Amino acid sequence: MSERKPLRVAMIGTAFMGRAHSQAWHTAPRFFDLALEPVPAVIVGTSAKRTEEQARMLGWAEASTDWRAVVERDDIDLVDICSPGDTHAEIAIAALESGKHVLCEKPLANSVEEAERMVGAAERAFAMSASIAMCGFSYRQTPALSLARQFIAEGRLGAIRHVRASYLQDWLSDADAPLSWRLDRSKAGSGSLGDIGAHSIDIAQWLTGQAIVEVSATMRTFVADRPMGVAAAGLGGVAIGGAPRGPVTVDDAVAFTATLSGGALGVFEATRMATGRRNANRVEVNGDRGSVAFDFERMNELEYFDGRSVDKRAEGFRRILVTDPTHPYASNWWPTGHGLGYEHLFTHQVVDVVRAVADRAVPSPSFAEALDVQRVLAAVQASSAARSMATTVKRTPE
């Protein structure tokens, strides 16, 4: 038996993120030296049958359908929120007010107003009981992106001029892919923008240390209605044969330019309709001395260009295989060259959250950092709605 003090976890959500977080709660204490031992205590869902099945499958001691009762229990220390965005504020605030630590999936909320209330609750809880509140922008925990951030902080890239980020998926390319909660504005807040564009916004600000201060955006919904569906293991669910169609109330795609506080120019794109691109979460940063480039579809690699090299004939982007023990998080895994996968991000996220709890430290990404992303999401939506920067291209009349 472990000598470590337990950290008893209740997780809300049984679907994709619930499964990813579950494996992380089990794996993190086996591979990393943690001061506390996470205990997967209660999993909470909406259907009793599915929640009990998932408790058995994913290794949770108990199943419940009553999140309110669970967050008030004295034998729970941390609440992990993996449910749709419209539930985040209510659950997180209730958990923080009853003295729990909180890990909440991204985007933090469905509106700036909700996110502000969550930050207020997090600040009060930290002051009162050192309760921590972290948001799950899990791509920060990719070893290659952590290395990119170290390079930028060390000045290897020099003054940052460009941030180019695109997050491309294709699970909505088929116009008959079913209507899931991710396509319902009242549940998800927005579409590609909040679901995946939020990751790019967070990565851009975190990598460069610069805030996005101005945006000019266009959003598009290509498929206005879709067949009703049922949840399934994949992202989109499964359409019910002959089902009626319901309206899509979010964006399918968004593109925007941005100005960053240090003067860098940002170009962003997010879509779940980039046919053939499965999870191409890409970012490139160019400075006056060097560049880095990353694509999650090759998540173990970071491209790095060192513009100060003396051997000009051999100059070019080099591919760093980010699996050496000197690379972030890598020393706890496999021998050099034996790569990591998507699930490792969540394991690293648990490591970071448990360390913040043990150290009584403000975690990163904090709720305040996630509110900052929320403000950018709101500005992008406002800019697109106002079409403020849209200028019609003048053409010769036919």
CB of 269 to ligand SOE, least distance (A): 14
**Per rule CB under 6 A, is residue 235 in the interface with ligand SOE?**
yes
Question: Which single residue brings its beta carbon nearest to ligand SOE?
Answer: 195
CB of 279 to ligand SOE, least distance (A): 6
**Per rule CB under 6 A, is residue 243 in the interface with ligand SOE?**
no
**Per rule CB under 6 A, is residue 141 in the interface with ligand SOE?**
no
Alpha-carbon torsion angle 208, 305, 318, 209, nearest 10: -10
Question: Which residue number, 16 or 222, has a Cβ lying nearer to ligand SOE?
Answer: 16
CB of 219 to ligand SOE, least distance (A): 16
Return the residues of window 304-323 that contact ligand SOE according to CB under 6 A: none
Tell me which of 114, 195, 269, 284 binds ligand SOE, using CB under 6 A: 195
Question: Which residue number, 272 or 327, has a Cβ lying nearer to ligand SOE?
Answer: 272
**Per rule CB under 6 A, is residue 116 in the interface with ligand SOE?**
no
Question: Which residue number, 137 or 256, has a Cβ lying nearer to ligand SOE?
Answer: 137
Tell me which of 146, 169, 300, 383 binds ligand SOE, using CB under 6 A: 169
Question: Which residue number, 83 or 169, has a Cβ lying nearer to ligand SOE?
Answer: 169
Return the residues of window 71-90 that contact ligand SOE according to CB under 6 A: none
CB of 322 to ligand SOE, least distance (A): 18
Question: Which residue number, 235 or 378, has a Cβ lying nearer to ligand SOE?
Answer: 235
Question: Which residue number, 277 or 327, has a Cβ lying nearer to ligand SOE?
Answer: 277
Tell me which of 7, 44, 157, 196 binds ligand SOE, using CB under 6 A: 196
List all residues 6 or more positions away from 7 whose beta carbon is below 8 Å from its beta carbon.
36, 37, 38, 39, 77, 78, 101, 354, 357
Question: Which residue number, 16 or 334, has a Cβ lying nearer to ligand SOE?
Answer: 16
Of the candidates 56, 39, 45, the one whose C-alpha atom is nearest the C-alpha of residue 5 is 39
Burial grade of 105 (CB within 10 A; 0-12, 13-18, 19 or more)? buried
CB of 383 to ligand SOE, least distance (A): 22
CB of 334 to ligand SOE, least distance (A): 22
Return the residues of window 324-383 that contact ligand SOE according to CB under 6 A: none
CB of 16 to ligand SOE, least distance (A): 6
CB of 84 to ligand SOE, least distance (A): 10
Return the residues of window 257-296 that contact ligand SOE according to CB under 6 A: 272
Q: Which chain residues interact with ligand SOE by CB under 6 A?
A: 16, 169, 195-196, 235, 272
